Amino acid sequence: MKQRITVLGSTGSIGTSTLDVVARHPERFEVFALSAATQVDLMLAQCARFAPRFAVMASAEHGRELAEKIRQNGLQTQVIEALDAIEMIASHPEVDAVMAAIVGAAGLAPCLAAARAGKRLLLANKEALVVGGEVFLRAVHEGGATLLPIDSEHSAIFQSLPEDPATWQRRVDKIILTASGGPFRQRDPKTLREVTPEQACAHPNWVMGRKISVDSATMMNKALEVIEARYLFGLAPRQLDVVIHPQSIIHSMVQYRDTSVVAQLGTPDMRVPIAYGLAWPERVASGAAALDFHALSAMTFEAIDDHGHPERFPGLRLAWEALEAPAGTTAVLNAANEVAVAAFLERRIRFDQIHVLNLETLSSVAPSNPGSLGDLLALDAAARAAAQRIAVQLAA
């Protein structure tokens, strides 16, 4: 039978790549439901092509606009406007797999709903683990869900680990996440205060949304990925390492106790980990170009502060500090960073003030050992409020 899929965040870069892979295998996959934020026309086109049963927009206004256009075009997709509509399409009994690609903490509730319903959960929303932590993992365990990482780094690690998770602790020495270094890898840190949103969003290797592009430029994306790896693979923070690999060919590595290293290589195309997650444990064509080792340029590696400028990526070390801090600290860090990046993109704070805002928010919000979704959302709201106040102060 075909695998019925809900795509959360279908109009973003991960969502559109997912639908591209799905379209290549109509005999294996069918789209059950789609959700998006504001891109009504793109959602309409996706409904016309994939004929999902349900579609959800983030706001009632965009939902009404989509519903009217669907009616005018004679499509059969039903637009749902209920407050819990996204959670409903993530946990619907007829759904087999959920691609979780909603950016930020907004994706936590539907991820929890899918986990509790025992779905195959393809996790492209790193915040579900960064914010949700043990609460999210408990929902996965209790619901019997299958959790498959879609971030290229975590998919690479998953592909490089032994099949039996019960052996990871005794066989694995450490995980090595690779990072491209972003657009400012060799830039003088003294000039980072002058960085514009346009420059920060110009990633050298990947085509991504604006928020994650800025996170890549600050290396906060790697900090969040370190946190995510801690929860996904159950290793201690000291067993997580990061190395800069500008070519983005090796997506991450696992070093075993005998010092052997197993790595996953591929072109920098998100359709590769998406196809792996959709078809796992099988493999299907992704549409990505194959590596040509005869034409491949040299692969290089650098330490994070290889150029003698540890201040270029100060946010990265916050990953290990947050993991060693009380439960909930990672949720505070995530909320602060979302506010900081939004303020930078709106030109209210400078690029170099993103780290300052994150640090000051961590200092001003005490986590409260969250044990439920309500606790997490309350902590997230408190952190955002504090971060907004700090953003105003920095802009003054």
pLDDT digits (tens, 9 = 90+) for 47-62: 999 999 999 999 999 9
Q: Residue 153 in contact with residue 177, Cβ under 8 Å?
A: yes
User: pTM for the complete prediction?
Assistant: 0.91
Task: Of 113-117, 171-175, 211-215, 276-280, give the lowest mean pLDDT range.
Answer: 211-215
What pLDDT sits at residue 309? Answer: 52
Q: Are 310 and 304 in contact (CB under 8 A)?
A: yes
Q: What is the mean pLDDT of residues 375-382?
A: 94
Highest-pLDDT range among 189-193, 202-206, 231-235? 231-235
Cα–Cα distance list, 162 to 103, 169, 314, 372 (Å)? 30, 11, 33, 32
Q: For the chain, first and last CA: distance in Å?
A: 59
Q: Is the pLDDT of residue 307 over 70?
A: no
- DSSP H or E run through 224: helix 220-233
If we measure between CA atoms, which residue out of 152, 154, 119 comes closest to residue 234? 154
d(CA 104, CA 118): 22
pLDDT digits (tens, 9 = 90+) for 326-359: 999 999 999 999 999 999 999 999 999 999 999 9
Q: Using the predicted structure, report yes or no on whether residue 80 has a pLDDT greater than 90.
A: yes
Q: Residue 96 in contact with residue 2, Cβ under 8 Å?
A: no
Q: pLDDT category, 210, cuts 50, 70, 90?
A: confident
* Two tokens, residue 15: 């969502």
